[in-house]
Amino acid sequence: MAESPLLSFEPILSFSVSAPDSFNHKKFFQLTGMAKKSSSQVKDIFRFLDNDQSGFIEEDELKFFLQRFDSGARVLTPTEAKSLMAAADHDGDGKIGADEIALTHSHHMAKLL
């Protein structure tokens, strides 16, 4: 089981066993503490999630998003992966770059303030 030292691990476990099509990326990022991280920390989390280290997170990688934290976790459904992709793929190229994650994070933080 991989554990990111930058996120609260216990909430991740509850998402890893949640029912299919119940994953809510906004709630995940809030409960794990990502919503409160600096831009630099968010980029570190991105590198942790970029399983193939290509510099981008593709939809196929998103299916295994929860398994990056817990190897026994379920895979995201196609609907959940598409929703997560749509939330962060700002340029519409079908992949998420580190800058897009940082932009998504800063937009979320602005809404909290």
Task: Say whether 21 counts as a known binding-site residue.
Answer: no
- Give me the DSSP letters along the chain: ----TTS-HHHHHHHHTSPTT---HHHHHHHTTGGGS-HHHHHHHHHHH-TT-SSEEEHHHHHTTGGGT-TTSPPPPHHHHHHHHHHH-TT-SSEEEHHHHHHHHHHHHHHH-
Range 79-103 average pLDDT = 89
Q: Which residue has the higher pLDDT, 5 or 50?
A: 50
Q: Is the pLDDT of residue 5 over 60?
A: no
Task: Give me the chain's average pLDDT, please.
Answer: 80
39 marked among binding-site residues: no
89 marked ligand binding residue: yes
Tell me if 58 is assigned to a ligand binding site.
Answer: no
Question: Which domains, and CATH codes, for the chain?
Answer: 37-112 (1.10.238.10)
Residue 52 assigned as binding residue: yes
Q: Is 91 annotated as a binding residue?
A: yes
- Residue 72 or 110, more confident: 72
59-76 pLDDT, tens digit per residue, is 989 898 888 877 888 899
Kindly tell me if the per-residue pLDDT of 6 is higher than 80: no
